[in-house]
Amino acid sequence: MTPASLQRRAAASLVVVGLLTPLTACGGDDGTGDTATDLTVLAASSLTDVFKEAGAAYEKEHPGTKVTFSFAGSQELAAQVRQGAPADALVTADTKTMDGLKSDTGAPTVIAKNRLVIATGKGNPEKVGNLTDLADPGLKVVLAAPEVPVGRYSRQILDAQKITVKPVSQEPNVRAVLSKVELGEADAGLVYKTDVASAEGKVDSVDIPDGQNAVASYPAATLKTGKHGAAAEAFVTWLSSPGARKILTGAGFQQP
């Protein structure tokens, strides 16, 4: 074979490689590690810390898959879904919000549960001891807005005990409630048990007896408009796996 022939064959090989490479990079969406997949998950604010850990664990188990979270109040997430926000999966802090999105999601699965506590300033300077104390007009209490799951749970347990609380503010998500207490802008607020755990050393908490409490359920589901259906289904399924449950319970969540 002449030198010119060798050069032509080498050039042809480079063209073939150049054509195949983009096809490999585009790949599929099975999240198995054979191709790159970027999952976007909309998740309730109370999952902020634990899902960062869970996402890192999932990526380690599934090379080639990156999980990006967008955290907000469940009602805000629902609005984003209805507006067509680009995402692959959704996890809310209540079943009511998820049930309202049946036409937009796959079948939901409850992955964890949670309970409420009273968050107070470090050292509980106002000596809050129970739900009844929240009715004290001299106490600055902050709650989540009624349309927010934790806000709805809060009013549910207060109404059941016939306790009237006039909050100094109503926040868009549970982390905003926690922040108000942490910064000293409120004396107390109703948040999830896991939120107080995430702010260890910055706030204290008062437990609410089970008979006076509410149980929050966290359903997860794929989104029908997502671009990575199979990979999203794999992630949602993984959230109920022993490994994921170990991470969730380690952060204070209860098993479903």
Mean pLDDT of 225-229: 95
> Cα–Cα distances in Å, from 120 out to 43, 91, 184?
25, 27, 9
Q: What's the token pair of residue 168?
A: 């100094």
Question: pLDDT-derived band of residue 5, with 50, 70 and 90 as boundaries?
Answer: very low
Total-model pTM? 0.84
Looking at every residue in the chain, the average pLDDT score rounds to 89
Contacts of 222-225 with C-beta under 8 Å, sequence gap 24+, read 222/88, 222/89, 222/90, 222/105, 222/106, 223/42, 223/81, 223/87, 223/88, 223/89, 223/90, 223/104, 223/105, 223/106, 224/103, 224/104, 224/105, 224/106, 225/84, 225/86, 225/87, 225/104
pLDDT at 31 over 90: no
pLDDT at 78 over 90: yes
> Dihedrals φ, ψ of 94, to 5°?
-160, 155
pLDDT at 245 over 90: yes
Whether the CB-CB separation of 50 and 247 falls below 8 Å is answered with: yes
Q: What's the token pair of residue 121?
A: 């300033």
What pairs with residue 118 in β-bridges?
A: 190, 206
Mean pLDDT of 8-35: 39
Question: pLDDT-derived band of residue 35, with 50, 70 and 90 as boundaries?
Answer: low
Q: How many helices (H) and strands (E) does the chain have?
A: 9, 9
pLDDT at 8: 45
Mean pLDDT of 107-113: 98
Please name the residues in contact with 249: beta carbons below 8 A apart, sequence gap of 6 or more. Answer: 255
pLDDT at 36: 82
Q: Domains in the chain and their CATH numbers? A: 29-113+218-250 (3.40.190.10), 114-215 (3.40.190.10)
Alpha-carbon torsion 37, 246, 202, 144, what sign?
positive
For residues 209 and 73, what is the distance between their CA atoms, to the nearest angstrom?
A: 25
Question: pLDDT-derived band of residue 106, with 50, 70 and 90 as boundaries?
Answer: very high
pLDDT at 109 over 90: yes
